[in-house]
């Protein structure tokens, strides 16, 4: 028979405080293919340690271990995993089945890591369970099976990848006599089929079933003898057909392992629903606040921009005084009609209108209301882009003649001509005690500045100056800059021009472009600032995810050990936990986006002043962001899991 396993001067030491203890002391051992070997010895003699090294779960401290002539000492963890996957099937005393999976799925696990197609995998697992008399229990979970049945499932798992060596560490240790006998019979049968069986036991009755008994004591082999089994080996059962495993392509196998990792992640999340939800909550709150803050910011910005768009794009508003609220501005009387007329002659000016204003009580019949009385030039409406609902604007002649022609706004029409029966145009309106003829009604201005609930009426500025104010100075001059001229250049020029005329700069200019830019940058700044605070809550959420993932890993150390024993690569384990973290974050992120929409609906239902604008960018960014959080904060726990020592992981219960 061919030599399968060769140990030379194999030594295994464990650190123990300052010292090291030597558990295996320079063992030499050769096992040939097809043997059935029992390793016996007292408890603590080093049987399991030897077994773990044979199964490539553990490494020797010194010496050589060759399997089929291949030295294992220098192999990488993933190469050892490949050996476990292809050559070894483990049977443990405590079965080590995964509690969340049914019998069939447990048996399938090694084949997932080996890359068998799902259909072949399922069929083969069902076959093996059938062969072990478990065909009616394939959908039972380990908790629903007796010890003997669980051990049979674990034997099926060991056979799944067509291992040629079965390593059984006290396989009957936890079983009653009958079940133990059953397991031994199966092992004998497998040996008869040509598999190499290595059983570790402290029970001489079990050992006597093997054809070779190796006894170790205190880490040295004290006897190695042939044994004639009490019963003749059963005739080989033809299972050769079942040995051939069909492998799919590399990509498909990768996708398959990904699917398995996904399924395990979902199972793990479902097993701890409340915990998962609480972990998610951090992400939900973080994402919801970031998305809503950005939406509110954008909504506000758009609203304000829509408001000032009523000012027209390229207008300059020249006021007396140094700035708004300048207490002297009322006394500064240097801004006069002549200024407006001079400005109108500049080449870059499209329209100019002086404005003055006062307030007065309007009366029509028994109706009374107070209103803002604007004295404006005939170009005012063109400069401001105001449109008429009916009638016409007054013209230059009205301004020259100080006519009492009045244009009223929509609010005034609604207040004073509420019946709507007759058109107000042509009717007489008493402004203070000045009767004026209504010539036109403006269209409502959508949310423009000063478009509140105030009533506004427009008269020629000459009329307001003489009949109401008794002064010739102006409140402001509105200049519409010609389309082809840059507004800020025009502003510079107007400043220079008026400063020259007045001898000093006793006015200030509002440039609508500036206002727009200021508002845009201010809201963007604010949005950024609040979003930054919300991002901090996301980071806190991410730390929560990391914390729970660490807990999840430490809870599932034994599962990780089992997966490693059946051949999972480090990458498979890493992937499984990373997927779990990403899934928690991504689902949290999606819930967060949903919550943000909910908040938007609520805000809009409660007050119409707010508009929330959800941009696709912010939603995509939220998804990407939560995935990233999962990857970043899940990485450390997942890497910890993938770097666990399989022996240490398996021994944890």
Please tell me what DSSP assigns to residue 7: E
Reading the block at residue 631, the tokens are 């990857």
Nearest distance from C-beta of residue 195 to ligand ADP, angstroms: 22
Residue 504 interface partner, choices Mg ion, ligand ADP, none, CB cut-off 5-8 Å depending on type? none
Q: Which is nearer to ligand ADP, 108 or 169 (CB)?
A: 169
Contacts (Cβ under 8 Å, ≥6 apart) of 72 = 56, 59, 65, 66, 80, 83
Q: Are 187 and 36 in contact (CB under 8 A)?
A: yes
By the rule CB under 6 A, 201 interacts with ligand ADP: no
Residue 153 interface partner, choices ligand ADP, Mg ion, none, CB cut-off 5-8 Å depending on type? none
Q: Which is nearer to ligand ADP, 61 or 303 (CB)?
A: 61
Nearest distance from C-beta of residue 48 to Mg ion, angstroms: 3
CA terminus-to-terminus distance, the chain? 39
At 316, phi and psi to the nearest 5? Answer: -115, 140
Q: What is the DSSP string of 339-387?
A: HHHHHHTSTTEEEEEEEEEEEEEEEETTEEEEEEEEEE-TTHHHHHT--
Q: Which is nearer to ligand ADP, 197 or 425 (CB)?
A: 197
By the rule CB under 6 A, 426 interacts with ligand ADP: no
Q: Is 9 helix (H, G, I), strand (E, B) or coil?
A: strand
Own/partner contacts of 549-553, CB < 8 Å, gap of 24 or more, are: 549/577, 549/580, 549/581, 549/633, 549/634, 549/637, 549/638, 550/636, 550/637, 550/640, 552/268, 552/272, 552/577, 552/580, 552/637, 553/577, 553/637, 553/638, 553/640, 553/641
Q: Which is nearer to ligand ADP, 49 or 138 (CB)?
A: 49
Q: Are 123 and 241 in contact (CB under 8 A)?
A: no
Q: Which is nearer to Mg ion, 48 or 640 (CB)?
A: 48
Return the residue matching tokens 């598999």: 195
Nearest distance from C-beta of residue 218 to ligand ADP, angstroms: 9
Task: State the angle between helix axes of 273-308 and 570-606 in degrees (0 to 180), rounded to the nearest 10.
Answer: 50
Q: Which is nearer to Mg ion, 42 or 624 (CB)?
A: 42
The pairing of strands 220-226 and 434-442 is: unpaired
Residue 234 interface partner, choices Mg ion, ligand ADP, none, CB cut-off 5-8 Å depending on type? none
Nearest distance from C-beta of residue 41 to Mg ion, angstroms: 9
Residue 81 interface partner, choices Mg ion, ligand ADP, none, CB cut-off 5-8 Å depending on type? none
Nearest distance from C-beta of residue 41 to ligand ADP, angstroms: 6
Q: Which of 10, 23, 335, 336 lies at the binding interface for ligand ADP (CB under 6 A)?
A: 23
Q: Which is nearer to ligand ADP, 202 or 402 (CB)?
A: 202
Q: Are 317 and 488 in contact (CB under 8 A)?
A: no
Nearest distance from C-beta of residue 212 to ligand ADP, angstroms: 18
By the rule CB under 6 A, 450 interacts with ligand ADP: no
By the rule CB under 6 A, 282 interacts with ligand ADP: no
C-alpha separations of 482 from 315, 347, 431, 485, 494 in Å: 9, 8, 35, 6, 13
Nearest distance from C-beta of residue 43 to Mg ion, angstroms: 7
Nearest distance from C-beta of residue 51 to ligand ADP, angstroms: 7
**Of all residues in this chain, which one has the CB nearest to Mg ion in the complex?**
48
Q: Which is nearer to ligand ADP, 596 or 650 (CB)?
A: 650
Distance in angstroms (rounded) separating the CA atoms of residues 194 and 173: 25
Tell me the residue ranges of DSSP E strands in 52-127: 62-67, 70-71, 88-91
By the rule CB under 6 A, 171 interacts with ligand ADP: no
Return the residue matching tokens 């044979």: 54
Judging by beta carbons within 10 Å of its beta carbon (0-12, 13-18, 19+), is residue 181 exposed, middle or buried?
middle
Reading the block at residue 554, the tokens are 């430490």
Q: Which of the residues 31 through 70 are near ligand ADP (CB under 6 A)?
A: 41, 43-49
**Which residues are near Mg ion by CB under 5 A?**
48
By the rule CB under 6 A, 14 interacts with ligand ADP: yes
Residue 391 interface partner, choices ligand ADP, Mg ion, none, CB cut-off 5-8 Å depending on type? none
Q: Are 205 and 198 in contact (CB under 8 A)?
A: no
Binding mask 173-192 for ligand ADP (x = CB under 6 A): --------------------
Binding mask 74-113 for ligand ADP (x = CB under 6 A): ----------------------------------------
At 590, phi and psi to the nearest 5? Answer: -65, -40
Taking CA 544 as the corner, what is the angle to CA 539 and CA 545, rounded to the nearest 5 degrees?
A: 95
Residue 465 interface partner, choices Mg ion, ligand ADP, none, CB cut-off 5-8 Å depending on type? none
Residue 41 interface partner, choices ligand ADP, Mg ion, none, CB cut-off 5-8 Å depending on type? ligand ADP
Q: Which is nearer to Mg ion, 48 or 412 (CB)?
A: 48
**Of all residues in this chain, which one has the CB nearest to ligand ADP in the complex?**
48
Q: Which is nearer to ligand ADP, 45 or 463 (CB)?
A: 45
Q: Which is nearer to Mg ion, 197 or 352 (CB)?
A: 197
Nearest distance from C-beta of residue 47 to Mg ion, angstroms: 5
By the rule CB under 6 A, 575 interacts with ligand ADP: no
Nearest distance from C-beta of residue 50 to ligand ADP, angstroms: 7
Residue 622 interface partner, choices Mg ion, ligand ADP, none, CB cut-off 5-8 Å depending on type? none
For the chain, the helix, strand and coil percentages under 3-state DSSP, each to the nearest 5: 50, 20, 30
Q: Are 215 and 226 in contact (CB under 8 A)?
A: no
Distance in angstroms (rounded) separating the CA atoms of residues 384 and 380: 6
Q: Which is nearer to Mg ion, 48 or 298 (CB)?
A: 48
By the rule CB under 6 A, 527 interacts with ligand ADP: no
C-alpha Rg value of the chain to the nearest Å: 44
Q: Judged by CB under 6 A, how many residues of this single chain contact ligand ADP? A: 10
Q: Which is nearer to ligand ADP, 49 or 276 (CB)?
A: 49
Residue 607 interface partner, choices Mg ion, ligand ADP, none, CB cut-off 5-8 Å depending on type? none
Q: Site residues (CB under 6 A) for ligand ADP?
A: 14, 23, 41, 43-49
């Amino acid at each position: 028979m061919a030599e399968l396993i060769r140990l030379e001067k194999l030594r295994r030491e464990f650190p123990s405080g300052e010292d090291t203890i030597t558990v295996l002391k320079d063992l030499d051992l050769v096992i040939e293919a097809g043997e059935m070997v029992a390793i016996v010895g007292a408890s603590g003699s080093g049987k399991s340690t030897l077994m773990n090294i044979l199964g490539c779960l553990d490494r020797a401290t010194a010496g050589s271990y060759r399997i089929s002539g291949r030295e294992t000492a220098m192999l990488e963890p993933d190469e050892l995993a490949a050996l476990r996957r292809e050559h070894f099937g483990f049977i443990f005393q405590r079965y080590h089945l995964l509690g969340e999976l049914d019998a069939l799925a447990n048996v399938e696990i090694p084949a997932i890591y080996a890359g068998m197609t799902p259909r072949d995998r399922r069929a083969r697992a069902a076959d093996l369970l059938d062969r072990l008399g478990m065909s009616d229990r394939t959908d039972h979970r380990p908790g629903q099976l007796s010890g003997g049945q669980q051990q049979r499932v674990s034997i099926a798992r060991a056979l799944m990848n067509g291992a040629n060596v079965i390593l059984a560490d006290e396989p009957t240790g936890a079983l009653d006599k009958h079940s133990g006998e059953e397991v031994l019979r199966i092992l004998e049968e497998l040996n008869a089929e040509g598999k190499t069986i290595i059983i570790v036991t402290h029970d001489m009755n079990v050992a006597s079933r093997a054809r070779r008994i190796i006894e170790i004591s205190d880490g040295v082999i004290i006897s190695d003898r042939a044994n004639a089994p009490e019963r003749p080996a059963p005739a080989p059962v033809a299972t050769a057909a079942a040995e051939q495993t069909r492998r799919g392509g590399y990509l498909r196998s990768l996708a398959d392992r990904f699917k398995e990792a996904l399924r395990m992640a979902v199972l793990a999340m479902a097993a701890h629903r409340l915990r998962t939800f609480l972990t998610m909550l951090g992400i939900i709150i973080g994402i919801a606040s970031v998305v809503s803050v950005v939406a509110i910011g954008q909504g506000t910005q758009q609203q304000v921009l829509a408001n000032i768009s009523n000012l027209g794009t390229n207008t300059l508003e020249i006021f007396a005084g140094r700035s708004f609220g300048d207490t002297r501005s009322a006394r500064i009387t240097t801004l006069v009609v002549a200024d407006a007329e001079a400005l109108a002659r500049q080449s870059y000016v499209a329209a100019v209108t002086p404005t003055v204003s006062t307030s007065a009580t309007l009366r029509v019949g028994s109706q009374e209301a107070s209103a803002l009385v604007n004295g404006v030039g005939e170009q005012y409406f063109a400069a401001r882009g105001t449109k008429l609902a009916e009638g016409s604007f007054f013209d230059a002649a009205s301004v020259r003649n100080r006519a009492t022609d009045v244009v009223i706004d929509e609010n005034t029409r609604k207040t004073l001509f509420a019946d709507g029966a007759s058109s107000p145009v042509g009717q007489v309106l008493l402004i203070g005690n000045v009767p004026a003829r209504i010539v036109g009604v403006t269209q409502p201005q959508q949310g423009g500045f000063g478009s509140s609930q105030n009533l506004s009426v427009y008269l020629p500025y000459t009329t307001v100056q003489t009949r109401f104010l008794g002064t010739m100075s102006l409140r402001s001059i509105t200049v519409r800059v010609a389309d082809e001229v840059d507004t800020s250049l025009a502003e510079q020029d107007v400043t220079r021009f008026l400063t020259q005329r007045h001898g000093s700069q006793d006015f200030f200019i509002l440039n609508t472009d500036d206002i727009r830019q200021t508002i845009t940058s201010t809201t963007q700044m604010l949005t950024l600032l609040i979003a930054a605070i919300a991002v901090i809550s996301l980071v806190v959420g991410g730390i929560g995810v990391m914390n729970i993932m660490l807990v999840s890993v430490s809870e599932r150390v034994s599962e990780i050990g089992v997966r490693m024993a059946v051949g999972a690569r480090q990458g498979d384990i890493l992937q499984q936990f990373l997927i779990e973290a990403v899934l928690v974050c991504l689902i949290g992120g999606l819930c967060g986006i949903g919550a943000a929409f909910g908040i938007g609906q609520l805000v809009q239902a409660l007050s119409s002043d707010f508009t929330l604008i959800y941009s696709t960018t912010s939603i995509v960014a939220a998804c990407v962001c939560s995935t990233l959080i999962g990857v970043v904060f899940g990485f450390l726990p997942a890497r910890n899991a993938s770097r666990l020592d399989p022996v240490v992981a398996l021994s944890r219960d």
